[in-house]
């Protein structure tokens, strides 16, 4: 458990950060921007993103550069909060670092899958390089999954990925690798929570993480079943083996043959009971909106630092996704109404 001093520091810092989030007025002003440089100018001069964008020439900026800087801000915030983690296991810090490592590995594997691994590039703060054993500079030199495993040989990830090396004419199964890596990370997190927390803190943490996993699993079921028409067995293998949904509820969702049936079955779960509070335009947004509601409630009401910290990180990632979607919509000349439909607030 966190010390009392550390706990109070995280609670204060996370809630202060949350208070600096984009307001409804910020979103309306950003929606009114006609070009990406206008978006960059507003973020640089009118919002909490000013510091990370201070050296940016907003009149000569491209979408990729702006997105990279925004992602770095979120990373710095995770670092800032993690420094207050006084627990001997530092389990949330480890979870954050593992997640970033997995994102980098999956980025490399996705490029490998389309024969463009040489295009891998990364831009991370010095802090991250000090907290990872990944040789990121070597990722652009690999030509197949076996070589990537060799690069990762001094890490925990090589053993997880190696069974997925294609044999003969087999195709690289990117989704299964991703599921295996994230299963490892969540399994480690659950073990740490059970070991290092107790009482209400443990209950709230497990509820938050299991809800997040249920939301993710539902999106995965929806996309695989409705868009790609995968079998029940394959879809099941793509799910994280955690969450509050029962085996019977998961089976019911997997047996659905249409989006309407899927939504009706979801309404019979604890997730469905919160649907009337969520504002969304697509099924994917619905899950993000539910997660946002859950995290905002924790920010307001929880007195457990680890719960508030994790909730804030999730909300900051939702805000980042909103900004990236808004930038994309602006880039392609969407109307304010069309861009607004891309946001979850």
What's residue 159's pLDDT?
97
Please report the pLDDT score of residue 73 as a whole number: 86
pLDDT at 158: 98
Mean pLDDT computed over 78-97: 71
Task: Check residue 125 and give its pLDDT.
Answer: 60
The two structure tokens encoding residue 57: 């020439």
Residue 81 binned pLDDT confidence (cut-offs 50, 70, 90): confident
Query: Hey, which of 261-265, 277-281, 335-339 has the most confident mean pLDDT?
Result: 335-339
Backbone region of residue 270 per phi and psi (left: phi > 0; alpha: psi in -120 to 50; beta: other values): alpha
CA distance 253 to 263: 9
**pLDDT at residue number 127:** 61
At 252 the pLDDT is 95
In terms of C-beta density within 10 A (0-12 exposed, 13-18 middle, 19 or more buried), how is residue 115 classed? exposed
pLDDT given at position 209: 96
pLDDT of residue 307: 93
The full 3-state SS of 131-150, as one line of letters, equals CCCCCHHHHHHCCCHHHHHH
Greatest extent of the chain over all pairs of C-alpha atoms, in Å: 57
Q: pTM of the full predicted structure? A: 0.89
The pLDDT tens digits of the residues spanning 119-135 come to 888 766 666 777 788 99
Distance CA 325, CA 323 (A): 5
- Confidence at residue 327, expressed as pLDDT on a 0 to 100 scale: 94
**Predicted confidence (pLDDT) at residue 84 exceeds the cutoff of 70:** no
Mean pLDDT, to the nearest integer, of 85-98? 74
User: Is the pLDDT score of 266 beyond 80?
Assistant: yes
d(CA 289, CA 283): 10
Mean of the per-residue pLDDT values of the chain: 90
At 161, list the tokens. Answer: 């990925």
Query: What pLDDT shows up at residue 130?
Result: 75
Where does residue 168 fall: left (phi above 0), alpha (psi -120 to 50 degrees), or beta otherwise? Answer: left
Distance, in Å, from the CA atom of 81 to the CA atom of 7, rounded to the nearest integer, reads 11
Per-residue model confidence (pLDDT) at position 88? 44
Q: Cα–chain-centroid distance for residue 152?
A: 23
Enter the DSSP assignment of 59: G
Task: Give 1's DSSP letter.
Answer: -
Is the pLDDT confidence value at 285 over 60?
A: yes
Q: Which residue matches tokens 């697509």?
A: 282
């Amino acid at each position: 458990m966190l010390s009392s001093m550390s706990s109070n520091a995280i609670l204060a810092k996370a809630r202060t950060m949350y208070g600096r989030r984009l307001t409804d007025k910020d979103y309306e002003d950003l929606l009114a921007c006609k070009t990406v440089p206008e978006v960059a100018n507003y973020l640089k001069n009118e919002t909490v993103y000013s510091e990370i964008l201070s050296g940016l020439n907003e009149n000569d900026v491209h979408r990729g550069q702006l997105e990279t800087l925004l992602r770095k801000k979120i990373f710095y915030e995770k670092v800032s909060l993690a420094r207050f983690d006084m627990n001997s296991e530092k389990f949330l810090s480890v979870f954050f670092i593992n997640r970033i490592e997995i994102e980098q590995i999956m980025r490399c594997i996705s490029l490998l899958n389309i024969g463009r691994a040489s295009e891998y590039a990364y831009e991370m703060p010095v802090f991250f390089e000090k907290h990872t054993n990944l040789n990121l500079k070597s990722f652009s030199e690999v030509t197949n999954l076996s070589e990537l495993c060799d690069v990762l040989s001094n890490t925990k990830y090589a053993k997880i990925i190696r069974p997925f090396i294609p044999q003969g004419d087999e195709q690289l199964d990117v989704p299964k690798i991703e599921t295996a890596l994230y299963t490892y990370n969540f399994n480690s997190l659950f073990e740490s929570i059970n070991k290092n927390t107790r009482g209400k803190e443990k209950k709230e943490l497990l509820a938050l993480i299991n809800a997040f996993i249920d939301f993710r699993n539902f999106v995965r079921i929806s996309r695989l079943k409705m868009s790609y028409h995968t079998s029940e067995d394959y879809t099941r293998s793509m799910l994280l083996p955690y969450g509050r949904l029962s085996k019977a509820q998961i089976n019911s969702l997997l047996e659905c043959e249409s989006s309407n049936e899927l939504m009706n079955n979801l309404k019979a779960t604890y997730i469905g009971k919160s649907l009337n509070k969520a504002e969304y335009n697509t099924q994917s947004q619905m899950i993000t909106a539910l997660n946002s509601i859950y995290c905002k409630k924790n920010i307001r009401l929880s007195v457990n630092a680890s719960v508030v910290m994790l909730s804030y990180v999730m909300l900051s990632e939702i805000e980042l996704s909103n900004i990236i979607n808004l930038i994309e919509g602006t880039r392609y000349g969407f109307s304010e109404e069309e861009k607004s439909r891309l946001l979850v607030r």
